[in-house]
Structure 1
Amino acid sequence: MSSLKEKIFLKEDPNVYEDKDAHLVRSLRVRDFLALGVGTIVSTSIFTLPGVVAAEHAGPAVALSFLLAAIVAGLVAFAYAEMSAAMPFAGSAYSWINVVFGEFFGWIAGWALLAEYFIAVAFVASGLSANLRGLLQPLGLSMPRSLANAFGTDGGVVDLLAVVVMMLVAVLLAYGVSQAARVENILVVLKVLAIIVFIIVGATAIKGSNYVPFIPAYHENADGTAFGGWQGIYAGVSMIFLAYIGFDSIAANAAEAKDPQKTMPRGILGSLAIAVVLFVAVALVLVGMFKYSAYANNAEPVGWALRQSGHGTVAAIVQGVAVLGMFTALIGMMLAGSRLIYSFGRDGMLPKWLGKLDDKKRPNHALVLLTVIGIIIGAFFPFAFLAQLISAGTLIAFMFVSLGMYALRPREGKDIAEPEFKMPWYPVLPALGFLGSLAIFLGLDIQAKMYAGIWFLIGLVIYFSYGIRHSYLQKGNKGKKD
């Protein structure tokens, strides 16, 4: 019998994952991954976070918060690019860590990402619902509170639009990745054009005085958080980081990439580079149009700033396209989340039917589970207090991937394929990626850390009560030992 320590550190053979994922259709190209990445990263947050973070923490220096968050995300993205080129398996960090560190650590990394996808799917669907209702209200079209809000929130019973939106995206994905990718590509182009229109039009209303002082003097907010100085910029980084986590959605679909050696690094790094430019430009224009304090408690700063500048028509167009653009984030999150759940089922860590493919080689069982849980969270539960759990889970996975580089490099060209793309300045950059992710994690509020702890306790219970007993890796190892 294997000891518990041997079971925990038991590593998956990368050839096994190659065989298991061989049934998935490799149909995604670089442009599909760029659209998937930009669509997921540049989502609801670009229209809200620049104004919110400027007002609450950083002032005009919100652009620096976006840059610092992007630097940390970029360090981890280099590790993601090399790992996905060397191991183009479904499940991203879960599968990679399973290979380089062992099953238990892979489960922890995957469980962390699962929190991100469950909550992010519900979060984006609910945000899309709110924005769509906001656009329809001036036309005299409104919904009763009971069908417009989550259960227990402002007289709500169920957020019906959020339910409908999640079901529509699930149906689109159920028909196949290539079909969903075509829709994604069109919507992402429209969304980027809308952002560029805002930047150009908004730039005409910039007043230089709104940038002074660029880094306001530090003081403590009423809730104990930091405003101004480098402390405020740091507080902004922790809040902003969730905007950059979308590149994991690219890696999760590596098993469906054409020529992953080239498409994965280009998709991951290219989409992050495009997102950084757009985020920083929007932030600089927004705080230049009006003093940062004007965006306090403003849920739609981009639309508000355009209307206040006399560009009501442009505001309506930008917000309309923004709502359409939220579909792109939902497509990306549901696509990646379903591939992660499929990976758990593929390995026996969760019920094996989740790892089954349909007659057209699509993991639709996993998609159904993700949709059902997303609907339960988004339609019936107020989840604003869980928003930072998205960042907490992802940051933990990012730390695993950064450290995983030290276990990956010695095996490349041996039992793991030699990737064409290599993370530069190894071994320094993986350490910086780990430390940067840790610093941002420590900057999250105490509630986020507490809820992350509860989520991981649930994950440990599931692993030791179900996963370790049903894991195909453990069963294969037992057969070898006995």
Structure 2
Amino acid sequence: MNLWKNMNRKTDPDMYRIKDGHLVRSLKVKDILALGVGTIVSASIFTLPGEVAAKHTGPAVTISFLLAAIAACLVAFTYAEMSAAMPFAGSAYTWINIVLGEFWGWVAGWALLAEYFIALAFVGSGLSANLRALLAPLGIKMPAIFANAFGVDGGIVDLISLVSILIVAILISHGVGKAARVENALVALKVFAIILFVVVGATAVKFQNYVPFIPEYQKTAHGAFGGWQGIYAGVSMIFLSYIGFDSVAANSAEAIDPQKTMPRGIIGSLVIAVILFISVSLVLVGIMPYSKYANSAEPVGLALRYAGHGIIATVIQAIAVMGMFTALIGMSMAGSRLIYSFGRDGMLPKFLGKLDKHHRPNNAVAAITIAAILIGTIFSFSALSQLISAGTLIAFMFVSLSIYPLRSREGKDIADPAFKVPFYPVLPFLAFLASLIVFIGLDHQAKLYALLWFILGLVIYLFYGIRHSKAK
């Protein structure tokens, strides 16, 4: 009974107001928008549409992107209300700690931590691969031992990935204000590259490539292809593209006027991302037959070269490499704030929750940097790709259901936010249901790894977190 009582003890929100009050509030709406777009519109916009079209949907990849966007938007409304009511570091972990209890907050936060660790490692690895591909025609080739993860094709350490993650860590350690300015510039450059592709690519679209728009269903080595079954498989694969808005919410303790800034930043960045993703996917499958994108890591470049725009393809790929830094910045900031929150609450060693003399959580920045480097430069993790979505979807389900107990406390011990989820109480349940449906569509391996990660988190909680918790 004592254990159950401790697991469900709720943290006093005043504790977070005091502790997070030392963080510097410097992020404006434009900074939050840039963080959101930079993290959501990451490397996946240049790679996923072609891969999903070839494996599962055909031209109907646009429908998969739209359905995944609807599911993400439902959850984004709940995130907007949560971050406005409780603008504390740690996003879902902290919110659920307050409204549901310590253990449930830990489960959601631990699930999100998997997203940040692996997403950082994946983006670093993707940046490395794309940069090496750009350098190869110039006769610049890195030795295999410094180009691949340990044990992969003769590799020992992916040096470019390591250096990229370190550069971002150093940038963030000097404050979110400086990081936000760099992010804003890189996001503007990346959006320009996407618009350039859409405008140039639209001139090469052949409408026969859209016929049939939804191919006939068949079972393939990759799973379902065509029909609504293929579209559903595409949704589960594509949802990874939209999960970045959680990283925006993690920085709400450093936002100016979070009551207005956070809802506008979260929902606005997602709307921009949806428009960009759908535009790219529609143009991509219109330029050449979708089957030609099979096993291509650079469908945007492939399509432009197919249409005779080789120079523009090189320019866009170069910008894409620089643009991947935006995702590294967003994920590093969010992940470090989550680790800071764990240390702040005693769930992990307390030094992780310490701020430096400039009120920056740089111990947490160092921790997530080391973890991402170890994962990205030592281990082969291709089989873990969908774990990013699995962990985030678990957190999304918790946040969606947490709106109900939150409403009874708004205006009491929790602030009454300026933004509230519309169509309450129906919409939060639809957000939960949408996340659950997408989670069910993930492959069995992703669910297995999510279970193993949960068991590891449970062990840490029972043998360390519950004993050192500072919850009152």
Report the TM-score range of the alignment, normalised by the length of the smaller protein: over 0.9
Partners in 2 of 1:4 and 1:104 — Cα distance?
10
Corresponding residue of 1:40? 39
User: What amino acid is the match of 1:231?
Assistant: Q
Counterpart CA distance in 2 for 1:126 and 1:447 is: 21
- Residue type of the alignment partner of 2:239: F
Q: What is aligned with 2:295?
A: 297
Residues in 1 aligned to 2:246 and 2:195: alpha-carbon distance in whole angstroms: 25
Aligned counterpart, 1:250: 248
| Secondary structure of 1:417's aligned partner | coil
CA shift, 1:155, in A, is 1.3
Q: Matches of 1:304 and 1:208 in 2, distance apart?
A: 18
- 1:383 aligned to which of 381, 384, 396: 381
- Identical amino acids, percent of aligned pairs: 70
Partner of 1:118: 117
SS of alignment partner, residue 253 of structure 2: helix
- Corresponding residue for 2:470? 472
Alpha-carbon separation, structure 1, partners of 2:30 and 2:139? 39
User: What residue ranges of structure 2 are gaps of 5+ in the alignment?
Assistant: none
SS at 1:283's partner residue?
helix
Q: Which residue number corresponds to residue 307 of structure 2?
A: 309
Distance in 2 separating the partners of 1:8 and 1:57 = 42
Does residue 1:7 correspond to 2:6, yes or no?
Answer: yes
Amino acid at match of 1:128: L
Structure 1 counterpart of 2:63, which letter?
L
Correspondence for 1:326 among 324, 327, 330: 324
The code of the aligned residue for 1:408 comes to: L
Q: CA deviation digits over 1:64-100, x for unaligned, max 9?
A: 0000000000000000000000000000000000000
Q: Residue 226 of structure 1 aligns to a residue in which SS?
A: strand
Over residues 179-222 of structure 1, what are the superposed CA-to-partner deviations in whole Å (9 max), with x where a residue is unaligned?
00000000000000000000000000000000000000000012
Q: Which amino acid aligns with 2:201?
A: G
Question: Match of 1:153?
Answer: 152
Matched residue, 1:410: 408
Corresponding residue for residue 78 of structure 1: 77
How do residues 444-463 of structure 1 correspond to structure 2 at under 5 angstroms? 444-463=442-461
How far apart in 1 are the matches of 2:169 and 2:371? 12
Rounded Cα–Cα distance in structure 1 between residues aligned with 2:350 and 2:8: 22
Which position in structure 1 is the counterpart of 2:190?
191
Shift of 1:113: 0.2
**Are 1:260 and 2:258 matched, yes or no?**
yes
Give me the whole-angstrom Cα distance separating, in 2, the residues matched to 1:4 and 1:164. Answer: 44
- How big is the shift at 1:154? 1.2
Deviations 1:10-67 (A, max 9, x none): 0011111111100000000000000000000000000000000000000000000000
**How far apart, CA to CA, are the structure 2 residues paired with 1:343 and 1:462?**
16
- TM-superposed CA distance for 1:4, in Å, is 1.1
TM-score between both structures, scaled by the size of structure 2: 0.99
Q: Deviations over 1:144-178 (max 9, x none)?
A: 11110111111111101000000000000011100
- Equivalent residue number for residue 430 of structure 1: 428
Q: How far did 1:341 drift?
A: 0.1
Provide the C-alpha distance between the structure 1 equivalents of 2:4 and 2:362, rounded to a whole number of angstroms: 35
- 1:419 maps to 417
Following the alignment from structure 2 to structure 1, what is the Cα–Cα distance between the partners of residues 221 and 60?
A: 20
Aligned counterparts of 2:405 and 2:235: Cα–Cα separation in 1 = 29
Distance in 1, matches of 2:54 and 2:427, equals 33
What does 1:10-409 correspond to in 2, within 5 Å? 10-223=9-222, 225-409=223-407
Return the letter of the residue paired with 2:122.
Answer: F
Q: Which amino acid aligns with 2:149?
A: A
Return the alpha-carbon distance in structure 2 between the equivalents of residues 73 and 302 of structure 1.
24
Counterpart residue type for residue 120 of structure 2? V
Q: Which residue of 2 aligns with 1:480?
A: none
Q: Deviations over 1:215-256 (max 9, x none)?
A: 000000124x10000000000000000110000011000000
Secondary structure, counterpart of 1:114 in structure 2: helix
Please, what is the CA RMSD of the aligned residues? 0.6
Deviations 1:261-287 (A, max 9, x none): 000000000000000000000000000
> 1-side partners of 2:391 and 2:221: how far apart?
28
Name the residue aligned to 1:479. Answer: none
Give the distance between the partners of 1:245 and 1:175, measured in 2 at CA. Answer: 26
AA aligned opposite 1:411? R
**SS class of match (2:243):** helix
One-letter code of the match for 1:196? Answer: I
The one-letter amino acid of 1:377's match is I
Deviation per CA, 1:75-128: give whole Å up to 9, x if none.
000000000000000000000000000000000000000000000010100000
SS in structure 2 at match of 1:298: coil
1:304-338 Cα shifts (integer Å, max 9, x gaps): 11011110110011000000000000000000000
Distance 1:311 1:351 in 2: 54
Aligned residues: 472
Separation in 2 of the partners of 1:221 and 1:141? 39
User: 1:472 is paired with a residue of what secondary structure?
Assistant: coil
Residues of 2 paired with 1:229 and 1:154: CA distance? 38
CA distance in 2, matches of 1:343, 1:301: 39
